Amino acid sequence: MYKKFFQSILFMLILFVFTSDMFPCTSILVTKGASEKGAPMISYSCDGEFHPHLRITPAAKYKPGEMVEIRGWRGALGKIPQVPETYKVIGLMNEFQLAIGETTFGGRKELISNKGIFHYYPLMRIALQRAKTAREAIIVMTSLVEKHGYRSEGESISIADKHEAWLLEIVGPGKDGIGAVWVAIKIPDGMVSATANMSRIHEFPLNDPGNVLYSENVISFAVKHGYYDPEKDGNFSFSKAYNPPTEEQIRYSSRRIWSIFRRISPSMNISSKYSNGNTNLKPYELYIKPDSKLNVRDVIALHRDHYENTKFDMTKDLVSGPFEAPDRWRPMKWKSGGKLYAWERPIATQQAGFVFVSESRAYVPDEIGGVVWYGMDNPYTNVFVPIYTSVTELPLSYTIGSLKKYTRDSAWWTFNFVANYANLRYSYMIKDIRKVQKEIEDLEFGLQPAIEHTAEYLLKTDKELAGKYLTKYCVENAEMIVRKWRDLGDLLVTKYNDGYIQNEKNRPQEIGYSDEWLKKEAKEKGKQHKLTETRDGDKEL
């Protein structure tokens, strides 16, 4: 079972690691006191060109002496002793409402080990199988890499349970090394944090074990390798030592942090200057207090961001075309006239494999409290569906499919088709997409209290029946949404065909281009297009 699971996960990861020119992913951490419901939340946009499969790993019990195989990109890397009991995991949340996400920051390349057996993803999964709380998960992960080794690049790992949200940052010990260098910080209650492919932990207290944990070598290792000089550098910064920022990384990563923070706390009027890539400016804070408490839909909305209505608005660039499409085709970097340029890297990207927002609620039983709002493909044009950790089955369309072949049976391909087709006439089609998206999510969130009230009632009399009820709801709801999205795709193909737009009577209309775009075209190539006469009824510029 483990062999097949890790093979599928690692194949999936290989696809997006080797087809991206920079490591992707965005994660948001919302503490209990910053949440409307008093429930910690984390989000995780796992970005890359790959086809995800949602999976259930059942709880299990094991005999003394049993081992579990840990696999890497090219096969088995080693075995570790199995624990007597493992917990049920759905996606990246377990039955005790513990959730984990990540973003890769890379860091110093020379610190990648070729001896450790743990890449970050299997490490996260093992932690979910063995821990009930965020603090326990940190202990599980760091204990495993201390003994068996860590071989990934630098990672920011977001962790939330029913009461706390933590950020763990970890790097390897270098070639032939076993172990890791790491620090973990509990995000203060009432605060919101975010990570986006850049180390976010700078200075931290060394004598506050209730809120900060770290490896014994976190400073000494940096001193030994010349990453930190106590006499010259002042207070120790994990980020400066292990992930010294570059202009390129700041722009690629910090622009997303800025946009999240400016949206949740507009009163702070947070400047975008640092996100322009100036390494001499002070980085953004690890966490801030939002102007108002957030709910799941707020966090989902934060993932639907192309910097709209800012000077970085990706719908307003020349490359957006006449229909204001925000997607940018890879590679991210390009040259012109001997100079190097880079596209903006938004929070919402067409390269998203899946995105989730987890909610861990202590005030209701675990069977109901733990819910993952899960979406496939681009968060801007998908729908998030609720998956409770007590379900025993998953919607089939979310568990099948391959990047190698398009199929309407796959949820990922269904959402992916709509997202890609919309680029033909984005400014028009996105209105149809967002309309259906809102209708569905309004219904889901509107029904949630009634669904959970019924489930809680059933839990008091028949726990198994409660699980069946939530399973039936989650599966049928998700499959219904996939059917609706197929219908939406069919509608878009029919409505927007050959450059025409069908009206409500299904008659093709010549809509053409916006006046603003036509003015640009006339200015650029007016002589080429100009007619000598203007007929009555022709559009004037």
CB atoms within 10 A of CB 167: 25
Q: Which of 452, 422, 447 has its CA nearest to residue 434? A: 422
Q: How many whole angstroms separate alpha carbon 400 and alpha carbon 395?
A: 10
Identify the pLDDT of residue 533: 67
DSSP H helices in 27-133: 120-130
What does the pLDDT look like over 191-205, one tens digit per residue?
999 999 999 999 999
Q: Which residue is listed with tokens 């219908």?
A: 487
CB atoms within 10 A of CB 537: 5
Among residues 438, 415, 331, 348, which one has the least CA distance to residue 52? 415
Asked whether the predicted pLDDT for residue 373 surpasses 70, the reply is yes
**pLDDT one-digit tens code per residue, 104-120:** 999 999 999 999 999 99
Residue 52: asked if its preceding bond is cis (omega within 30°), the reply is no
User: pLDDT exceeding 90 applies to what percent of the chain?
Assistant: 87
Spell out the residues 6+ positions from residue 455 whose beta carbon is closer than 8 angstroms to its own: 367, 368, 388, 466, 469, 470
Distance CA 383, CA 399 (A): 16
Cα–Cα dist 88/69, whole Å: 18
Q: In terms of C-beta density within 10 A (0-12 exposed, 13-18 middle, 19 or more buried), how is residue 248 classed?
A: middle
Other CB atoms within 10 Å distance of the CB of residue 172? 30
Render pLDDT for 441-450 as a digit per residue (tens, 0 to 9): 999 999 999 9
CA distances to 85, 89, 444, 457, 476 from 451, in Å: 31, 22, 10, 10, 13
State the pLDDT confidence band at 36, using cuts at 50, 70 and 90: very high
pLDDT of residue 532: 80
21 pLDDT higher than 90: no
pLDDT at residue 207 tops 70: yes
- Read off the pLDDT of each residue in 333-353 and give the average, rounded to a whole number: 93
Q: Is 70 exceeded by the pLDDT of residue 19? A: no
> 384-432: per-residue pLDDT in tens?
999 999 999 999 999 999 999 999 999 999 999 999 999 999 999 999 9
| Average pLDDT along the chain | 93
- Residue 527 has what pLDDT? 86
> CB atoms < 10 A from the CB of 239, how many?
21
Question: What is the distance between the alpha carbons of residues 267 and 508, in angstroms, rounded to a whole number?
Answer: 47
What is residue 294's DSSP assignment? B
Contacts of 36 (CB under 8 A, 6+ apart): 293, 294, 295
Checking if the pLDDT of 273 tops 70, the result is yes
∠ CA 262-266-269, nearest 5°, is 80
Q: Is the pLDDT reported for residue 7 higher than 80?
A: no
User: What are the pLDDT digits (tens) for 155-165?
Assistant: 999 999 999 99
**At 314, is the pLDDT very low, low, confident or very high (cuts 50, 70, 90)?**
very high
Assign 13 a pLDDT band (cuts: 50, 70, 90): very low
Phi, psi of 393 (to 5 degrees): -135, 160
Is residue 540 scored above 90 in pLDDT? no
pLDDT of residue 468: 97
**Least confident interval from 18-22, 97-101, 310-314, 388-392:** 18-22
Confidence of residue 4 (pLDDT cuts 50, 70, 90): very low
φ/ψ region of 40 (left if φ > 0, alpha if ψ in -120 to 50, else beta) reads: beta
For 457, the token pair is 């009632």
pLDDT of residue 524: 86
| Per-residue confidence (pLDDT) for residue 535, from 0 to 100 | 58
Q: What is the pLDDT of residue 3?
A: 44
